[in-house]
Amino acid sequence: MRIISGIFLLFLLMATAHSQNEIDASISILASSEPVPLNDMVNGWDGDYKKGELAFTDATWQMGFTTSIDYKENSLGKVRVARGYRIYYYLKFHEDTADYYRAQEQKTELNGNKILDLEVKHFEAPSISFSYTSPTLDLPLYKVKSGFNVATNLYRPGHMQFAKVKGVAFGPGTSAFSADIDYRYDQFKLPWLEDEKGYETTKGEGYSFDLGIFIYQEDWYFGFDAKDVLTQLYWESAGVTVACLQTESGEGAVCEDNGGNGRSDLKSVVETIPVSFSGVLKHKGYDLSLHAFQHDTFKRLGIEKGFKTELGRFALFLYHPRLLGASWQTDYFNVQIGADTLEFSTARNIQLNMGVNWHW
């Protein structure tokens, strides 16, 4: 990855004598947790608890170089190369499973049997991305202009946890359960198994593609993006535990007998993550826009109102589920921050975007 990025960056620098160039750096964080605050999701379920089925975090930082491609005073678009780092975390679970984990954390009793149904997707990786943005294309028949962008992202993931757990917990205690487990990892972290598997795992390789289109005319702008299309993450050597664990039989049990039945090995692993879809519809005259986002079962819808001032563009935005925030944008930097509470330690929804750029 270092050789590829170095060659491509050298090529761009040699081709920029008469181009418009830009160097940028950015941080982007989108995080949401339903049952407990985000801080508790990481450090222990000690805070306010409510029913929920989802926890999601996608955090990236990047530093990139962009240059325009010009030929005989005509623009052929822009290319960008960037180096960054990404942390992705996605948990999808049944409400009963959240009740069970909460009872384990708090050492309390369950009000009956609980369904165990959990899916985990988590990895951390440095990245290199190459992207192209087309020039604006005129569509006189429809009196609009349009364009598109495409990007290739290459990953070198290290830490990873992918798992599926299905079964039942027998109340009122939390020690009686029956569950099928399919677990892929670089560090063994299942609390139900006493012997941690200290395998020597390797770093992985991965790629994904981002696609986008934009259409606008005098008053309206529409944009649509698909992120992580055809994603594939591959580890040549990772820990794999497939087992059926049962401490007590009963209605809904998934194992044939009490005890453990399965095995752990060092194997090659291929994983993927869901595609993210986002769209924006904006009236440019009023600087008023609608925003939509979907990542598997995580969905949100919002509205934003902007105001132009001598100090740049200020905006206020409101999203469902609960998130309120503001942004400030100039030619050289932008800041956007939103949450569902001013006390960030108890926040369940957070959005943060910060960026700086220098162009010449």
Interatomic CA distance for residues 210 and 113, integer angstroms: 43
**What count of other Cβ atoms lies within 10 Å of the Cβ of residue 248?**
14
Interatomic CA distance for residues 231 and 274, integer angstroms: 8
What pLDDT digit, counting tens, does each position of 260-298 carry?
Answer: 888 889 999 999 999 999 999 999 999 999 999 999 999
Residue 134 DSSP code = P
What pLDDT digit, counting tens, does each position of 138-187 carry?
Answer: 888 778 999 999 999 999 999 999 999 999 999 999 999 999 999 999 98
Residue 307 has φ and ψ, to the nearest 5°, of -140, 125
Predicted confidence at residue 17, as pLDDT, reads 46
What pLDDT digit, counting tens, does each position of 87-111 carry?
Answer: 999 999 999 999 999 998 888 999 9
Q: Tokens in use for 87?
A: 């942390």
Sign of CA pseudo-dihedral 246, 189, 270, 230: positive
Q: What is the mean pLDDT of the chain?
A: 91
Predicted confidence at residue 16, as pLDDT, reads 46
Predicted confidence at residue 179, as pLDDT, reads 95
Sign of CA pseudo-dihedral 253, 270, 202, 263: positive
- Residue 296 neighbours by CB under 8 Å, 6+ apart: 90, 92, 274
Predicted confidence at residue 353, as pLDDT, reads 97
pLDDT-based confidence at 135, cuts 50/70/90? Answer: very high
CA 2 from centre of chain: 24
Q: Tokens in use for 318?
A: 């409101």
- The model scores a pTM over 0.85: yes
User: Domain spans of the chain?
Assistant: 2-359
pLDDT-based confidence at 191, cuts 50/70/90? Answer: low
Between 45-54, 141-150, 193-202, 216-225, the lowest mean confidence (pLDDT) is in 193-202
